[in-house]
Structure 1
Amino acid sequence: MASADLKDELTCSICLNLYTDPVTLHCGHNFCRECIENVLDTQNGSAAYTCPQCRAEFPERPVLQRNTTLRNIAGHVLSQEEQEEIFCTYCVHTPVVASKTCLWCEASVCDLHLMAHNKSLQHVLIPPTKSFRNRKCSRHKTVLMYYCTEDAECLCVSCCLGDKHRGHQVELLNEASNQKKTKLRTIQGHIIKEKDDNEKRIHDLRDHLRQIPEKAAGIVERVTAKFREIRMKVDDLENHVLKEISKQQEQVSLSVSDLIQQLESKKHNLSREISTIEDLCQMMDPLLYLQADRRDFTDVMDGDNYLKETEAADLSEDLIINTQTSGLMNIMSGLQKGYYVQEASGILLDVNTASNDVHISDDLKTVSCSKTKQGRLENPERFEYGRVLSLKGFSDIRLYWDVEVSKEGAWRVGMTYQSIERKGECSLIGNNKNSWSLRNFQNQYSIRHDGKEFKLSVQPSSHKVRIYLDYMAGLLSFYELSNSVKHLYTYNTRFTEPVYPVIHVWDNAWMRVLNYDNLNIW
């Protein structure tokens, strides 16, 4: 129980009750807000405003500063008093616990005295309490029984008839309380649902977080295996090229050695002929010379001239380079089957699916929001608002496509099954299980699938977006293209139908599918 001295310190000197919403004047004294405002109202038009306790004067109406600490202490003391046992006011000789408190009489009664208590409507019975001040009008000192919905104030009968609340919607306290509780329960239901969704999102993200190391390990294993395979093929190609060089070296060496041997033999024969001719030329006796000269040596002049013209064989560097290049191209050809992606210029927009509030360019690459209805004939494939599909869907493939987006307006881009609804809320990209999207609205990225949308922490900084699809792996990723490629978000799912590029523009936005002349590795 609070001590008497503490209660004195927590008692307003005007109403002599515990503080209710205490405020402080410049002089340091505290009062209930309503009490001091009533006093200051009576001082309007006087020479100065004064403190009811110390008579300190203020030239202007003082600004009231809420005393939060004092309010909390008073509230704590009041709650302690509410928890204390309350006894019947009329059981004088033997204390009996009260079952009700009458606000009109400001008395608590036990079950016995309750039977004899006045049943008039003015006598309002509530659970036992010692606090009557908050239950009565501070101005008229009568029980608060009504609630003004416009001013959000609890009123007594006299307040309802006064000028301040005249003509306002007034309800009984119970009715007003029940209505507010009903509204709160509705809000509580939404909060509980949001909390449950948040918990599910956290659970999904934690599952995703646990899967990341396993997925990363799988990717590392596949990448390592691919590099190991590439290294083995490059090593095999290197050995093959080196063997080709050794083979050419051996063949050229044998050819050159044979030519040298032939030339050495011819050189020896020529030296012998030179010596013979020299001996003949040294003979002084004409008769002996003519008798000995049986040859004219013309055969030596005409024979074996082909050896002089024969060029020495050499290594064929072009053949070696061609062998190396051909081998590398074969290796790259094998890589292309796994890493080359679909040509982005192959994506065209399907006018038959375009809604009548979007314009499609002649090259079927650009979609823009149009204020003028396009007048296209209705068909089951046509979207109701702002959307268009591509002509072609994709499956069993890895590809990416890039789009350029406008600086103004709002847009969504993504992938969808052709079976997506074409009208109503379910036709919105990402508002169903058949589509996955990235949205930019009011300079904020968000992703949406199966009716659930989440904002991304990455702020838009470029006007080019890349959409990457690995159908077999069940991956759909979005990237922002600027000086570098910035990852925005990746969906991980299992595709069961071919997926089609889809675009949604509104608020004067436009989007263009970008062209590339060749296939791209990425």
Structure 2
Amino acid sequence: MESVAVDDELICAVCRDTFVQPVTLPCGHNYCEECVNLLKRSADGGCQKARETRSLFSCPLCLAPCETGIDLKKNSVLCNIIEKLHGGRAKGVACTVCKGQEPLPAERSCIHCAESYCTVHIIPHLENEFLRKHMLVEPRPDAGRLCKQHGREVELYCETDCALLCVYCMLPSENPHLNGHNVVKLADAMNSVKEAFQVKLGGIRDSLAEITDGLQKLEEAASVSKDRLTNQQQEYSGFLRRVRMFVEVEEKAWQKRLAVAMVAESRRMEERMEKLQQLRMNADRSALWAEREAQSREQASDSQSSCCCALGSAGFSRGAHYWEVEVRGIPSWALGISCGSGHTHVENSASCWVLIYSQRRQQFCTQHHGQTSCFAASRVPVKIGLFLDVDSGILSFYDAELLQGLYTFYCQLNPPAYPLFCLCLDRDGTLTSTLPQEMRILTPVTNL
């Protein structure tokens, strides 16, 4: 017990183990050097700035403050006492729980825990009610191989229960392995177990040999199958390569045939278009002659009628534009564009493209550079929409209420292009009382 009391004084209050490189705090208490470093790191949080400001930590025993930056010296006297105490004890089985570089000698070994304990670490087995049931024996490294009931060497083996026994286990008062149990010597049992394991090991080796042979055969079969598949792949690749070559040749041949056919068809279409254009020109000339003849007769019978035109002040040089004009109740009008601010005569101008409506004839007429084309009007227009794309030269007229196209010019413009509006007057120079006094532009010209 005196030895135990001395060992208690050699225990660190932080790690609860024997001192390792003990150092002394200003308050006089001793701790392991690594335990003090742990207290310092806990106090400053591992921050360099905190260490520079000299933060404080407390002694675990007396709570006395101590600066983290203090330089602590090793307690040489305490180190010498620990070394002499360890050196004075008999060298034998070492404690398996001590964490120091030189663990203390073991005082007792526990059969159930299979551990050896020094005078400090054996204390729980002496005080704890559950651990006191464990059997303690003299220190020995093979304590886990002793009989857990009697603490003796294991010398027998019960083949019935597969249990290790000592000689005390065979006493009549304590032996449950006598009646009907086959108990043999441990050495004999080890030989029989070895023989049994040798038999099993032989079977395992035979199985491994069969498995190895099977794997070798599978590898050979896989190699043959791989070679066969490789040959098939090469054959199929060659066949597909020939097929692709044939398809490419046929494709080029068909492309040539189709190109020749397209050229021939294009020539036939051009010839037909030329014939149709010639017929259209003849028809336009006939219609123009008839129109002029009718206009001359109308002018002869009504020499006082006249037509006034207005040209927009702003011209369009690029972009797409759209505007709408209300022509409700106007018997005759002309709408279009003119390239040039001075062109208001639309009859023979090459820079004007107009759409003319005559309510008396119930028809529309298009006019550009002396060429006129007329077509019947299915309804009396109320609002006309004009779309102009200056960049592409497209001029389209729409019935703005029905969103129905009336006619499209493909013009060769010389910008700027100005909107052109014309009204036909009665004999007395004014519109009738039931008609509006002027055309109204409902939607201002805007860029699209």
Q: When the two structures are superposed, what TM-score results if normalisation uses the length of structure 2?
A: 0.29
Larger Rg: 2
Q: When the two structures are superposed, what TM-score results if normalisation uses the length of structure 1?
A: 0.25
